[in-house]
Every structure is written in structure tokens, then in C-alpha cells.
């Protein structure tokens, strides 16, 4: 376990912001990442008392509090099946009931299928800091971080339909590369995992610009190949 030298559970957002003004404090989402071994001595700030767990539907968008667990996303009938499926693939059951959507965004894992699904669903992220709240595009948050602010909510589109096409060692393995595609009317968006430092939205015509990092599960050349194959399939399958 990390050395959490203090545990805070603020009752209000204001209290949380005050606590987090100290750079030695980190936000505790569900704990599935923060509470694993390694790292520095930290004070953790648990946001569970802030009520950031509601899922609401507003026209063509859904809004989730940042502390919504992936398990609740999976179980929610109003959430699009693409997001639910991606949330299910993201973590095994027990971790899914702890891991939060805010934590997944803050983690910015380049192999996250859920981030891919959010990216193609035009997700925006509410960042709250001492100066107030601001909605930022998911891609900017993944690329630039939260700037020390709290992720308080996430919004994404509920229209259209999508597919996840992936290659892994086994069907449930974290994909080496996954293509997530969503069609909304005539518009199709595609995100790829495992081909860059973050999950990226891609233009199918410009896949040759990718420069993936390689590892033991897939070299750069192989990941580039998968990007092409899986993007093609995702385009064909997303109807």
C-alpha cells in the first residue's frame, strides 16, 4: 500500500478545494490505483461525501458525477451500451465496483477502452478549482491533465451507436490496440487505444502518422498494423 499518512473526507466541495490547495495531497477516487504499492508519502482526499455519484440524462447528453463507479455505469439502463460495455471491459468486477469514472479520466491510461468510448462520445469534463468550474474536452484533459483541479463531472453523448474492436492475447485481456467507433447520423468518430501516450481520436485517412510506443505485447510496427486493421473493421461494423 502507499503510505497514506493522512486520510481526509471533506464534506463539501469547498472543503475539498481547501485541502487540495496543499500539493502534498492527492485525490482518492475509488482507490484502485492510488491504493497500490509504490509512490511517495501522501495525504489522500476521499471525495465520497460530495455526492458526486449521480447519473442524469439531459436530452442527448448524460452527466455522471466523477465518483460514479464503473459498476454503476454498467448497471445503468440509460447509459449507452457502448459506454457500458467499455466500462465492463475496463476492470474486473470487484475493482469495477470501486473504480470511478473520474479516476479513469485522471489516470489517462493509454490502453483504456472506456476512455476510447468516452472520447468518441464527445465527452467533456467538468474541472472545479478555487476559481470555479469549467467544462473542458476530454482530449484536452487527457493531454494536459487537470491542472490541479478536481474532476467533478463528466458528460457524454447518448445518441448514436458504437462498436469496440480489439486485439488482445485473450478476449478479456486489456487490448493491445482497440478501435472504438461511434456513428451519430452520418458522423463517425474513431478512437484508438494502445497507439500513443494517451487514447487518441484518429482520422482513418491519416493513420500512417501514428508513432506508437512498443512493448512486449506489441511492437510499434505491430501496433501500427493493428491500428489499420481494427480501424477498418470498426468503420465497417459501426452502423
- In the complex, the residues that contact another protein under the rule CB under 8 A are 1-7, 9, 28, 30-32, 35-37, 43-44, 46, 48, 71, 88, 92-98, 167-174, 176, 215-219, 222, 225-226, 229-230
Residues listed for the chain? 239
Q: What are the beta bridge partners of residue 183? A: 161, 188
CA distances from residue 34 to 39, 59, 98, 128, 189 in whole angstroms, order as listed: 9, 35, 12, 20, 32
CB of 143 to another protein, least distance (A): 25
Q: Which is nearer to another protein, 176 or 200 (CB)?
A: 176
Nearest distance, CB of residue 218 and another protein, angstroms: 6
For the CB of residue 140, give the shortest distance to another protein in the complex, in Å: 28
Nearer CB in complex with another protein: 35/198: 35
Question: What would the grid cell of residue 223 be?
Answer: 501496433
The Cα 90–Cα 172 span in angstroms is: 10
Dihedral pair phi/psi, residue 144, rounded to 5°: -115, -10
Strand, coil or helix: 45: strand
Identify which of residues 9 and 61 has a Cβ nearer to another protein in the complex.
9
Q: Please, what is the minimum distance in Å from the beta carbon of residue 39 to another protein?
A: 11
Identity of the residue, 66 or 122, whose beta carbon is nearer to another protein in the bound complex:
66
N-term to C-term CA, the chain? 45
Q: How far is the CB of 14 from another protein (least distance, A)?
A: 21
Q: Which residue carries 457524454 as its cell?
A: 156
Q: Which is nearer to another protein, 158 or 174 (CB)?
A: 174
Amino acid at each position: 500500500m502507499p503510505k497514506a499518512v493522512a486520510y481526509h473526507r471533506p464534506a463539501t466541495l469547498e472543503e475539498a478545494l481547501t485541502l487540495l490547495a496543499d500539493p502534498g495531497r492527492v485525490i482518492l477516487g475509488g482507490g484502485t490505483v492510488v491504493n497500490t504499492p509504490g509512490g511517495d508519502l501522501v495525504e489522500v482526499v476521499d471525495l465520497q461525501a460530495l455526492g458526486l455519484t449521480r447519473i442524469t440524462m439531459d436530452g442527448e447528453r448524460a452527466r455522471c458525477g466523477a465518483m460514479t463507479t464503473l459498476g454503476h455505469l454498467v448497471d445503468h439502463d440509460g447509459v449507452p451500451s457502448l459506454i457500458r460495455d467499455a466500462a465492463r471491459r475496463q476492470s474486473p468486477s470487484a475493482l469495477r465496483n470501486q473504480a470511478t469514472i473520474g479516476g479513469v479520466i485522471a489516470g489517462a491510461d493509454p490502453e483504456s477502452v472506456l476512455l476510447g468510448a468516452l472520447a468518441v462520445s464527445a465527452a467533456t469534463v467538468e474541472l472545479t478549482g478555487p476559481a470555479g468550474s469549467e467544462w473542458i474536452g476530454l482530449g484536452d484533459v487527457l493531454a494536459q491533465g487537470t491542472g490541479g483541479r478536481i474532476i467533478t463531472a463528466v458528460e457524454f453523448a447518448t445518441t448514436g451507436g458504437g462498436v469496440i474492436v480489439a486485439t488482445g492475447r485473450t478476449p478479456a485481456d486489456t487490448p493491445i490496440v482497440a478501435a472504438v467507433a461511434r456513428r451519430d447520423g452520418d458522423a463517425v468518430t474513431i478512437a484508438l487505444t494502445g497507439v500513443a501516450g494517451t487514447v487518441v481520436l484518429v482520422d482513418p485517412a491519416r493513420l500512417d502518422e501514428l508513432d506508437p510506443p512498443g512493448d512486449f505485447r506489441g511492437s510499434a510496427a505491430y501496433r501500427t498494423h493493428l491500428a489499420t486493421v481494427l480501424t477498418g473493421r470498426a468503420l465497417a461494423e459501426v452502423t
